[in-house]
Structure 1
Amino acid sequence: MAAISDYALLGDCQGAALVSSDGSVDWWCPPRFDAPSVFARLLGTAGGYWTIRPSGPYTTTRQYVDGTMVLRTDFHSQDGVLRLTDALSLGFGERGHGIGFTSPHVLLRQVEVVAGTVDVVVEIAARPEYGLITPTVAETPVGIEISGGADRLVLTSDRELTLDGPTVTGRFALDQGESAVFALHHRRSADPQIVPLDGRAALRETIAGWQSWEQLHQSYHGPYRAQVRRSALVLQALTYQPTGAVIAAATTSLPEKVGGVANWDYRFAWLRDGSFTLKALWVAACPDEARRFFDWLAASVGSVHPEEHLPIMFGAGGERDLTEHTMPHLEGYRASQPVRVGNDAWRQKQLDVPGEVLECAWVLRDQVTDLSPAVAGLLRSLADRAADTWRQPDAGVWEGRDGERHYLTSKMMCWVALDRAVKLASALDAAEQVPRWSKARDELRAAILNEGWHASSEAFTGAFGSDHLDAGVLGMPLLGFLPGDDDRVLATVRAIERDLSRDGLVQRWTGSGDEGAFVACSYWLAEALALGGQLDAAKQIFDSVTSRMNDVGLLSEEIDRRDGSQIGNFPQALSHIGLINAAWVIDQVETERRPSSRTA
């Protein structure tokens, strides 16, 4: 099974596919991120795949078409060079600068020979519903129809293909300058019949659509610009455009430790991650999606009784119930079981979420003007909830399943919620609530400073009364709770560097064992170092983490500190968010240090 870093992401702003460096689509879940897969060999041999490759030995190089999520893979064989171009077709509508609103859910694959003559092999083994279904395959007037369960696929091509039971195969030779194109259209059984599109034209339009979006969203001109641009495109690809929901990752059940059981489904929209994403795009791309995100948020959260937990995550369409179950017929990535669909974290109490949402509203206050009554009401209610609940224990930002604690990061984010609500009071039409919010904010700050500091550890620790470190507390200077050069912050950073970091790779908490280093935490460390005046050390950390990107600029959730490999769900929005924000902070600190260019 290919390494996680061996994959590249294709996106149409509604769903995602993963393609290996040898031209195999091993993951695709149309029509949206959290739908059942039609290709899932990534998680087991029964899952299905689609390969296109030369018939003989080869080596490969690949890159994204500049400014897009369209992938080009060059196969170098003794007979010549075969170029494979892969994309999920973009639809074009009025909103969002034309990306992704009317997508027909089509996987596009074009091969062309750029040198020599190459014998091409094609094999399509669609296995709907995570491989539970072996489909029927038949020739029809519009193309080869693949039917199984609720899924209908129609394959069109300008090359002759063969039906081999439930599998479609093909073999043909192409001379230099010749090409072939394939389009695999998806619909659900109740949807209208498929009208096949022109694969070549759709590919050109998809490239143009991505490049149009990227050209309109280039506000960042600081260091690491190429990596920031790529990360912004990844975040856009992980945004479900029909609603504005931001998906945490394209996959489920890629393990935090190979062979382990910490295999979670991340194909959902966490309110925390969505807020982080919009903040990162504010740095990288001047987002115009902020209003839609907050409108979606207000509609999805709805009215929550004060005694109920605030929802922390949703399906891409706003669904609440994400009950988790397992897929025992799939052996898992490199025997990492169980394979999970759904995520029971939706049931948890996580007190930090109001802070992330209100921080996002504060950062984007110029983009989110004239709030709708529903959004203003939601933000007021989030501040009220922070004031009412901050004394309670919760599951924390790392979503532990071993009991609730008084996590410092949760308390800190409640403080952020109240602090930003006070600053936004005019926009929220909440002047009368400012005294209560201010009082709770100040009480909370005192509690964090008194109970969060562990004298013998000389650090702010992960929970009140605990001596365990938690990289999440690096958010203190990042969010303005304390200055980056505060002695207590500097001491905490030193403790995290000493006990949780190795070669710039930071684990989440004390006692993590062989768990990988969490990519976002490593970037948080770079930010904290920069804000503490240690710019060279911050750059060293940033470079160390960013060097772990794969060849097309993608990052997973974690890095295995034993061998440097990428592990966890992939690509991970939070990792790319961390990269963007760390680059921005480094740029800001560098800018402040430069001598003024003004003459006396």
Structure 2
Amino acid sequence: MHSGVERPPIAEYGFLSDCRSAALVSRDGSVDWWCPERFDSPSVFGRILDPDAGHWVLRPAGERNGRRTERAYVGDTLVLRTVHQTDSGSVAVTEALASEPGARGHDLGSASPAVLLRTVEGLSGRVRMSTDFAPRPEYGLLTPHLHCQPNRVVAAAGPVSLTLRAGVPLTCERGRVHAEFDVSAGQVVGFDLAYAPSFGGPPAAELDPVAAIAETVQAWQVLQDSHPYDGRYPDLVRRSSVILQGLTYRPSGAVVAAATTSLPEQLGGDRNYDYRFGWLRDFSYTLHALWVAACTEDTSRHFAWAVRSAGRLGPEPAPIMYGVGGERDLSEHVLDYLGGYADSRPVRAGNDAWRQRQMDVPGEVLEAAYLLRDRLGQFDEELRETLVDLADQTVDIWHRPDAGMWEVRDEERHYTSSKVGCWVALDRAVRLAPWLGDRADPRRWAAARDEIHRTVLEQSWNERVGAFTVAFESDELNASVLMMPLVDFLPADDPRMWATIKAIERELATDGVVRRSATEPAGFVWCSFWLVSCLVLAGDIQRATELFERTNAKANDLGIFAEQYDLVTGEHLGNTPQALSHIGQILSAARLTDPTLRF
């Protein structure tokens, strides 16, 4: 495949979800990413990773010169409405991944029909519209056979069958479908695109796109109306909670780290990873964020996914991540025929981080269980066994080096954040002991917890640097140590902790965005919100508020954050939407609302 085609910036993409799969649509009306079976399945539209990997364009015909475009989500939903103003008139394109008919609230996504809906509504004048449909299943490997009728096309290749149904005549030509049509004020033209496996059941029955979009709006709105949040920045918190719901694989309760694979951390670089899986760290922080946003109805389902995915734990460290269906083996392979976003190679499917040892993970799970203990009610046997296994395992292995929370793929080290995570695991296990049954050993856990605390204070503090550093016996500042006050390891106003916070703000923060380390060129959005929370806990509410608002200004026009932010160009970098970025926004907004809040 080739490169050299103009690419939209990552921030130009809107996010659609049916709580099973995700699509990305550009401001100019091109669906450049859709994995219809589930979040981590192969794409049928993959142009975001290569110009020839499939797309579906729907927009005003002709050049963009003189055209003005505005877009917004419909209420508290992931239904996107884009208004195009042209010299001859204006139209609104509304698009969504369909909810199951009749689904409401937390039923959304349980049996979604895998249908992409798009409508064009004439608002004024008369606008010439154009659509170009070029599916390329299996991440662009396959060009489908087209079975054409005037208003219906079946595109079939390999394991995928796509049925496009349109309110206008369609023309087929060499693996593509075209149409141009006029839309006048008051006229509505609808399209629906239904996925089905080639050798499975038929696609969803034909939907009325207008009615199906209205159903989907109502399903999302009912979900959000049941979660009142009355703190500061309510619009931001609601938007981020909708995005987190959209990153949830509803059948299992898994939350994917992002909707995409291989969008680069640095343009032209090779740190391009697949984030369409459930990390236990992200799972824990997502539960924190949804607790703040009053979205706790699915707590038991989220925990059931984590516990069932893990199975019985042995002496080796707990796996850090799973597939959305609980799969353990997420072995990585390179899609070497794809050019990559902005020529950033390799493009990867799967993620070999599943093999890594990251010892903060048990602490994330035990912290979430402690926070939500009342919501979980009586712990069942599987949950008790898993939490006790995690605590016992932490006692046995905390002294080992690991890969750290940033998943470094080189030599293991004694990372400060990993040791603090081990302390969290044992501290929360001690507090949870009354819920954990006869195998609970709070005395043993407390002794190891206290030893970890002493060790971190002795070996992570660097007198020359005047701060806690990334690892034992290191001189390197790293934003990961900002977690220390957030988990109550040390108060933010402890002299050494406060010195560390100031050093990170001075050396790693630029215009509201914090880099993970001095060697990284881009800011990491999650760390930026960590710094906000640390400033709140230290009592500097004014500076925390200023930083929060500067960081929020880096979101795109739809309120979406990717993983990182280029401090020179202002471009979004990394996979998008990034769950941790939105989690950080919610948690720091909550702390700004109530600085005494602990979670």
Q: TM-score if structure 1 supplies the norm length? A: 0.96
Q: Partners of 2:105 and 2:330 in 1: how far apart?
A: 28
Partner in structure 1 of residue 221 of structure 2: 211
**Secondary structure, in 3 states, of the residue corresponding to 1:580?**
helix
Shift of 1:479: 0.7
**1:149-548 equivalent positions in 2, closer than 5 A:** 149-194=158-203, 195-218=205-228, 220-306=229-315, 308-430=316-438, 432-512=440-520, 514=521, 516-548=522-554
Q: Partners of 2:518 and 2:476 in 1: how far apart?
A: 5
**Secondary structure, in 3 states, of the residue corresponding to 1:298?**
helix
Q: Partners of 2:410 and 2:509 in 1: how far apart?
A: 24
Shift of 1:408: 0.5
Counterpart pick for 2:47 among 30, 33, 41 = 41
**Secondary structure, in 3 states, of the residue corresponding to 1:429?**
coil
Counterpart pick for 2:135 among 121, 126, 134 = 126
Tell me, yes or no, if the aligned pair for 2:493 and 2:538 is still in contact at 8 Å.
yes
CA deviations on 1:249-284 (whole Å, 9 max, x unpaired) are 000111100111111110111011011101101001
Tell me, yes or no, if the aligned pair for 1:270 and 1:313 is still in contact at 8 Å.
yes
CA deviations on 1:186-241 (whole Å, 9 max, x unpaired) are 011232112322322211110000000010012x2121111111000000000000
Tell me, yes or no, if the aligned pair for 1:47 and 1:131 is still in contact at 8 Å.
yes
Tell me, yes or no, if the aligned pair for 2:105 and 2:224 is still in contact at 8 Å.
no
Q: Partners of 2:311 and 2:597 in 1: how far apart?
A: 43
Deviates more, 1:253-262 or 1:499-508: 499-508
2:451 corresponds to which letter in structure 1? E
**Secondary structure, in 3 states, of the residue corresponding to 2:373?**
coil
Partner in structure 1 of residue 3 of structure 2: none
Q: Partners of 1:477 and 1:30 in 2: how far apart?
A: 41
Q: Partners of 1:540 and 1:141 in 2: how far apart?
A: 57
Counterpart pick for 1:26 among 32, 52, 55 = 32
* Alignment partner of 1:81 is 2:81: no
Q: Partners of 1:383 and 1:283 in 2: how far apart?
A: 26
Partner in structure 1 of residue 59 of structure 2: 53
Partner in structure 2 of residue 598 of structure 1: none
Counterpart pick for 2:584 among 578, 585, 588 = 578
Tell me, yes or no, if the aligned pair for 1:108 and 1:184 is still in contact at 8 Å.
yes
Partner in structure 1 of residue 75 of structure 2: 66
2:77 corresponds to which letter in structure 1? T
Deviates more, 1:560-569 or 1:545-554: 560-569
Tell me, yes or no, if the aligned pair for 2:280 and 2:321 is still in contact at 8 Å.
yes
Q: Cα–Cα, structure 1 residues 555 and 371, in superposed 2: closer, same or farther, change >3 Å?
A: same
Tell me, yes or no, if the aligned pair for 1:469 and 1:510 is still in contact at 8 Å.
yes
**Secondary structure, in 3 states, of the residue corresponding to 2:69?**
strand
Partner in structure 1 of residue 148 of structure 2: 139
Shift of 1:96: 5.9
1:75 corresponds to which letter in structure 2? H
Deviates more, 1:69-78 or 1:583-592: 583-592
Q: Partners of 1:409 and 1:504 in 2: how far apart?
A: 22
* Alignment partner of 1:558 is 2:568: no
Structure 1: stretches of 5+ with no match in the other structure? 593-600
**Secondary structure, in 3 states, of the residue corresponding to 1:169?**
strand
1:81 corresponds to which letter in structure 2? S
Shift of 1:430: 4.7
CA deviations on 1:285-326 (whole Å, 9 max, x unpaired) are 3311111111111111112321x3311111111111111111
Q: Partners of 1:72 and 1:202 in 2: how far apart?
A: 15
Tell me, yes or no, if the aligned pair for 1:380 and 1:430 is still in contact at 8 Å.
no
Shift of 1:425: 0.8
1:215 corresponds to which letter in structure 2? D
Q: Partners of 1:411 and 1:510 in 2: how far apart?
A: 22
Q: Partners of 1:161 and 1:431 in 2: how far apart?
A: 66
Shift of 1:491: 0.4
1:216 corresponds to which letter in structure 2? S
Shift of 1:90: 1.0
Q: Partners of 2:39 and 2:53 in 1: how far apart?
A: 16
Tell me, yes or no, if the aligned pair for 2:74 and 2:81 is still in contact at 8 Å.
yes
Shift of 1:511: 2.5
Tell me, yes or no, if the aligned pair for 1:93 and 1:100 is still in contact at 8 Å.
no
Q: Cα–Cα, structure 1 residues 497 and 364, in superposed 2: closer, same or farther, change >3 Å?
A: same
The RMSD of aligned alpha carbons is 1.6
Deviates more, 1:64-73 or 1:191-200: 191-200
Structure 2: stretches of 5+ with no match in the other structure? 1-6
Deviates more, 1:232-241 or 1:459-468: 459-468
Tell me, yes or no, if the aligned pair for 2:96 and 2:116 is still in contact at 8 Å.
yes
Identity of aligned residues (%): 48
Shift of 1:149: 1.0
1:90 corresponds to which letter in structure 2? S
Q: Partners of 1:488 and 1:430 in 2: how far apart?
A: 39
Tell me, yes or no, if the aligned pair for 1:95 and 1:101 is still in contact at 8 Å.
no
Q: Give the paired residue count.
A: 588
Partner in structure 1 of residue 157 of structure 2: 148
CA deviations on 1:412-448 (whole Å, 9 max, x unpaired) are 0110010111111111125750110111111111111
Shift of 1:113: 0.5
CA deviations on 1:58-102 (whole Å, 9 max, x unpaired) are 220000001100000001000111100010001268896321111
**Secondary structure, in 3 states, of the residue corresponding to 1:63?**
strand
**Secondary structure, in 3 states, of the residue corresponding to 2:15?**
strand
Q: Partners of 1:554 and 1:198 in 2: how far apart?
A: 29
**Secondary structure, in 3 states, of the residue corresponding to 1:367?**
helix
Q: Partners of 1:430 and 1:156 in 2: how far apart?
A: 60
Deviates more, 1:327-336 or 1:521-530: 327-336
Q: Cα–Cα, structure 1 residues 341 and 222, in superposed 2: closer, same or farther, change >3 Å?
A: same
Tell me, yes or no, if the aligned pair for 2:268 and 2:342 is still in contact at 8 Å.
yes
Q: Cα–Cα, structure 1 residues 291 and 591, in superposed 2: closer, same or farther, change >3 Å?
A: closer
CA deviations on 1:28-72 (whole Å, 9 max, x unpaired) are 001100000000100111111001111134220000001100000
Counterpart pick for 1:8 among 14, 36, 41 = 14
Tell me, yes or no, if the aligned pair for 1:474 and 1:493 is still in contact at 8 Å.
yes
**Secondary structure, in 3 states, of the residue corresponding to 1:405?**
coil
Q: Partners of 2:116 and 2:104 in 1: how far apart?
A: 22
Tell me, yes or no, if the aligned pair for 1:15 and 1:240 is still in contact at 8 Å.
yes
Tell me, yes or no, if the aligned pair for 2:159 and 2:198 is still in contact at 8 Å.
yes
Partner in structure 2 of residue 596 of structure 1: none
Q: Partners of 1:178 and 1:202 in 2: how far apart?
A: 17
Counterpart pick for 1:549 among 543, 546, 555 = 555
1:62 corresponds to which letter in structure 2? R
Q: Partners of 1:237 and 1:462 in 2: how far apart?
A: 33
